[in-house]
Amino acid sequence: MLAWTAAGVGPQGGRSNNLVLFVADGLRGGMVDPHSAPQMTAVRERGVSFPNSHSVMPTFTMANASALATGHYLGDTGVFSNTIYVAFPVPAAAGNVTPFLENDAVLGALDEHFAGDYLNETTLLKAARDMGFSTAAVGKLGPALLWDHTDREALRTIVIDDSTGSPNGHPVPSGVLEAMKNGGLPVLSPSRGANGQAGGFTVPGTKSANIEQESYFADVVTKVILPMFKKRNQPFVLVFWSRDPDGTQHNQGDSLNQLTPGINGPTSLAAIKNADDVLGKIEAALTELGMASSTNIVVTADHGVSTISTESETSPAARVSYKDVLTNHLPPGFLALDIAQALGLPVFDPDDNNSRMLPGSHSARGNGLIGENPVRPDVVVAANGGSDLIYLPSMDRNLARRIVRILLEQDYVSGVFVDDALDKVPGTLPLSSINLKGRSVTPTPAIVVNFRTFDSGCGKPTNCGVVVADTLYQQGQGQHGSFGRADTFNFMAAAGPDFKRGFLDPAPVSNADLGRTLSEILGLRIKPRGRLLGRVIREAVPGGTTPRFSSRTVISEVGPNRLATTLNYQIVGDTKYFDAAGFSGRTLGLK
């Protein structure tokens, strides 16, 4: 803090500048150029470019939303992935103990259960509106509300997302609703339409970007929220969470069952351009309203993305026939099925009223409750995509070692991390090594399983990564969550009155850093509970100097099948930046 103040950054007794944080969900760090995304390219060129940027791991939306919103790593926020085990039946998720977090009602239920704030850390938007800023979060369901999720009644922060206007949607202030009606905008958010169609193993997914829904959110911002902020004559903070390109990359139908072009087909490229166009509309509105010169524009992505592979030579689940899965391919929930078979225990589906999975069936969303009684399972698998979470309610050390041995027999596994409380397990690294062991109030996973990633061979590996994914999507579509560099490498750039001009920052930065930096620029004084914090990116602001940084590698003790988890990271002071992790030869970008 002293060093930051010495650099002369942030409000010095005067009015703070405004902030627009634009999150392009799933935008890979190497995909932005003047053709694919001219607006983002312009922000990068006139302001600060961050070519050494990092998503926090696991590389999922809600996890990184928590890091951006609080400046803390996941061991403190407890948002370990998009789907987590919460150890109680969530009413808003039909009694599921492994709820999907991109849901406003589910977030409300978690807050209610965990003493009013399941994040256990103050978000930037909450602190900003407490300091008198006008605040709004617009866009993708889940991460939009997370930015001020405890503001359920006063409605001091404007939240507009996919569920706005529906019975389960977050309430909108009456003045905003009236302005929307006067502006000819419906109060019910449109659906994704054709863009929401993921297809199946015999039917291609969507061939269109998320144009209609993104345009609606852009109109609400430019025609209602920004003019309202202008009239208030107060500094403001606006978070715009663009579902594109992520949603389209997941659902794209350009590459059914094929690894190429994968997520580099025309539909995915159109989604990148769609997100860029929305950013352009917001910047144009700021100019028209006379607020451009006093507004910082920060663009980031929560994570990168890879093309899905569903192939394995070792998985027992892949040798079973399913009615909706390609022959000899991995079904959704393969990890839970393989662990259950190896342990000789039944497995139940928490997304289907805890029904038992019979031979030839798989779970609805990949999650699994393993044991004789689904109400008191021995093992819980929360499936997420490029990595899965395994919970052991009993914290049985012998069971943990058995599961690790099972995992190390599978060709789709590349790196395993185990809760420090379970002691050292050969072949694995501790959760603390990747900042997953902190002060979270949600249950901590006992084991985090990273899946294999590799290069499809396009010439630029971080743009053409492939991941074996535990997912409902098909081979050839898009997924993320792994420890491959294609997923950890996100796009990041910043421009405005509080940032340097034309500066390329060689130092490593992360989404947790960005959360801390924006808080400092706005002059917020947020008292942390946990200690897993990012750093303030001092070098990006006038007067700041680039810090020293270095690259390091840590390797676990060798485990079964002579496998050892390797972790590549960079370090600035005591702040770590995770590049890649896994087993030698099984993780993209691992050195």
Per-residue pLDDT of 136-153, as tens digits, reads 999 999 999 999 999 888
* Residue intervals in the chain for CATH 3.40.720.10: 2-199+211-305+486-540
Average pLDDT over residues 383-392: 98
Annotation: CATH topology of 2-199+211-305+486-540: Alkaline Phosphatase, subunit A (3.40.720)
Residue 417 has pLDDT above 50, yes or no: yes
Q: Which residue, 402, 406, 388, 404, is CA-closest to 556?
A: 404
pLDDT of 239 reads 98
pLDDT of 49 reads 98
What is the band of 5 on the pLDDT scale with cuts at 50, 70, 90? Answer: very low
* Type and span of the H or E element at 134: strand 134-139
The rounded distance, in Å, linking the Cα atoms of 19 and 186 is: 26
Residue 13 has pLDDT above 80, yes or no: no
pLDDT of 31 reads 98
Average pLDDT over residues 458-468: 96
Per-residue pLDDT of 77-112, as tens digits, reads 999 999 999 999 999 999 999 999 999 999 999 999
What is the band of 168 on the pLDDT scale with cuts at 50, 70, 90? Answer: confident
Quote the mean pLDDT of the chain: 96
The rounded distance, in Å, linking the Cα atoms of 82 and 385 is: 9
Residue 76 token pair: 């403190």
Q: What contacts 13, CB < 8 A, 6 or more positions away?
A: none
pLDDT of 1 reads 30
Q: In what order do the strands lie in the sheet with 387-391?
A: 355-356, 347-349, 368-370, 379-382, 387-391, 447-451, 413-418, 429-430
What three-state secondary structure class fits 40? helix
The rounded distance, in Å, linking the Cα atoms of 117 and 370 is: 29
pLDDT of 152 reads 81
Q: Is the peptide bond before 58 cis (omega within 30 degrees of 0)?
A: yes
The rounded distance, in Å, linking the Cα atoms of 283 and 305 is: 26
The rounded distance, in Å, linking the Cα atoms of 271 and 273 is: 5
The rounded distance, in Å, linking the Cα atoms of 85 and 328 is: 29
pLDDT of 15 reads 77
Per-residue pLDDT of 342-371, as tens digits, reads 999 999 999 999 999 999 999 999 999 999
Per-residue pLDDT of 472-502, as tens digits, reads 999 999 999 999 999 999 999 999 999 999 9
Residue 497 token pair: 């009155």
What is the band of 374 on the pLDDT scale with cuts at 50, 70, 90? Answer: very high
Per-residue pLDDT of 570-583, as tens digits, reads 999 999 999 999 99
Contact 533, 72 (CB under 8 A): yes
What is the band of 14 on the pLDDT scale with cuts at 50, 70, 90? Answer: low
Contact 42, 32 (CB under 8 A): no
Per-residue pLDDT of 544-580, as tens digits, reads 999 999 999 999 999 999 999 999 999 999 999 999 9
Residue 434 has pLDDT above 60, yes or no: yes
Q: Which residue, 195, 182, 307, is CA-closest to 242?
A: 195
Q: Give the DSSP per-residue string, 323-372.
A: TTS-TTBPPTTHHHHHHHHHHT--EEEGGGTTEEPPTT---SSS-EEESS
Average pLDDT over residues 232-255: 98
Per-residue pLDDT of 177-201, as tens digits, reads 999 999 999 999 999 999 999 999 9
DSSP state, residue 380: E
* Type and span of the H or E element at 458: none
Contact 437, 430 (CB under 8 A): yes
What is the band of 331 on the pLDDT scale with cuts at 50, 70, 90? Answer: very high
Question: What are φ and ψ of residue 22, in 5° steps?
Answer: -105, 115
Residue 467 token pair: 């991941």
Could you give the dihedral angle defined by the CA atoms of residues 113, 115, 120 and 126, in that order, rounded to the nearest 10 degrees?
Answer: 100
What is the band of 278 on the pLDDT scale with cuts at 50, 70, 90? Answer: very high
Q: In what order do the strands lie in the sheet with 236-242?
A: 157-161, 134-139, 236-242, 18-24, 295-300, 492-495, 48-49, 503-504
* Type and span of the H or E element at 468: strand 465-468
Q: Which residue, 262, 63, 39, is CA-closest to 146?
A: 63
170-174, 295-299, 310-314: the lowest-pLDDT one: 170-174
Q: What contacts 147, CB < 8 A, 6 or more positions away?
A: 65, 69, 123, 124, 125, 126, 137, 157, 159, 239
DSSP state, residue 190: P
The rounded distance, in Å, linking the Cα atoms of 219 and 224 is: 7
Q: Which residues pair with 355 in a beta bridge?
A: 349
The rounded distance, in Å, linking the Cα atoms of 251 and 249 is: 6
Average pLDDT over residues 526-537: 97
pLDDT of 3 reads 35
pLDDT of 6 reads 32
